[in-house]
Amino acid sequence: MDELTHLRELRADAPVPNRAALAPGRERLTDAIAGRNRSARRLWADWRVASLGAAAAITAAALIITQVVDTSSDPDTLANNLDLSGPTVTLNRAADFLEERQAPPEPRAGQWIYAVNVFAKPELAATENIADPDNSPEPSWTPYADPEMEKDPADDAWSSRETYQAAEGLPDDPAALLAEVRALYPAFDTERGREESSTARTFRGLSTLIESYPLSPAARARIYRALGTVPGVRVTGHLVRDAAGRKAIAITYEEPGSHERRELLLSPSDYTYAGTRHVVTEDHELNEQGFVTKMTAGDITLDRARTAAAVVDARGELPEP
């Protein structure tokens, strides 16, 4: 963890200066400038001290304001302020919120998972005429307990039931949870010619679990607390927009040498999964099967949002509004 992030998380509970707290210093500064009962030498000294104090207060307030997003009047976010000062703070607060939620019953074997996903067009600065994705919000239905997927225990393609039950069985201790997630999701041999690191593998496994549906609030809370301890995981200090145009919290990880940041997007209203983005972090050329693509920092290569998910009793059935 870099020093600035560590410092922010240590002081994440620092209060935002308000008018009442700053009033005494402001009054002393005004008195000093007006020259009330001070000599010229004393006036200059007090003015310098007061100015330094005011500058420090303004700097501290600016730092905190960039980290704590006031969402009290925003219907798309939580009633409380969102603390985006660091991944541990943000994800622990999300876990606290989820642990107070009541878990719905586990779906039955004969039920289906209804979902709607939308994709935004990739944003590549050096590439023109990118085809628009099929962004029509077509729903999909998958069996909660898919017998074809569950018949081979060695198969790494899991049904929703297998993922749900694996998440329910994860331990509370973050370190033990991360070790079990790595066991659940074996490492890729290579990724674009690079070996997948243990940390990248951990983030991939946690992301897969977080994206799954359904996931009980308690299991999601345990996963979030563990995710906040993964080295290299960050949180963007402001809300971003997902592929559906909604505000979202961005939990990020960049594998060294990948030139790309993976963003796991969470809803600021209930901390559920909202979507996924892949963002280029530095200019480079991508060579895949002899085809070279110039990538520019800021390019968005993947932008997906999940706009609906529910458990229904039959294929083709729509959830109740």
CA 170 → CA 88, 210, 226, 296, 310, distances in Å?
19, 13, 11, 39, 23
Q: Compute the Cα dihedral for 309, 314, 320, 321 and give only its sign.
A: positive
For the chain, domain boundaries: 3-69, 82-312
pLDDT at residue 250, as a whole number: 98
pLDDT at residue 171, as a whole number: 98
* Whole-angstrom distance, CA of residue 180 vs CA of residue 185: 9
pLDDT at residue 81, as a whole number: 67
Amino acid at 141: W
pLDDT at residue 290, as a whole number: 76
* Whole-angstrom distance, CA of residue 191 vs CA of residue 189: 7
pLDDT at residue 195, as a whole number: 75
* Whole-angstrom distance, CA of residue 321 vs CA of residue 77: 20
> What pTM, to 2 d.p., does this model score?
0.75
pLDDT at residue 273, as a whole number: 98
Nearest to 79 by CA among 268, 281, 286: 268
pLDDT at residue 68, as a whole number: 53
pLDDT at residue 107, as a whole number: 97
Work out the number of other CB atoms within 10 angstroms of the CB of residue 268. Answer: 21
pLDDT at residue 151, as a whole number: 81
Helix axes 217-227, 174-184, angle to 10 degrees: 100
Which spans in the chain are helix H? 3-10, 19-34, 40-67, 87-99, 147-150, 160-168, 174-184, 198-211, 217-227
Q: pLDDT (tens digit, 0 to 9) for every residue of the chain, 321 residues total?
A: 444 444 444 444 444 444 334 444 444 433 443 443 443 333 333 433 333 343 333 333 333 333 455 444 565 666 456 899 999 999 999 999 999 999 999 999 999 999 999 999 888 888 876 777 666 778 999 999 998 888 877 676 899 999 999 999 999 999 999 999 999 988 765 545 567 899 999 999 999 999 999 999 999 999 999 999 999 999 999 999 999 999 999 999 999 888 999 999 999 999 999 999 999 999 988 877 778 889 899 999 999 999 999 999 999 999 988
Instruction: Using the structure block, give the residue that is written with the tokens 């083709």.
Output: 316
pLDDT at residue 74, as a whole number: 63
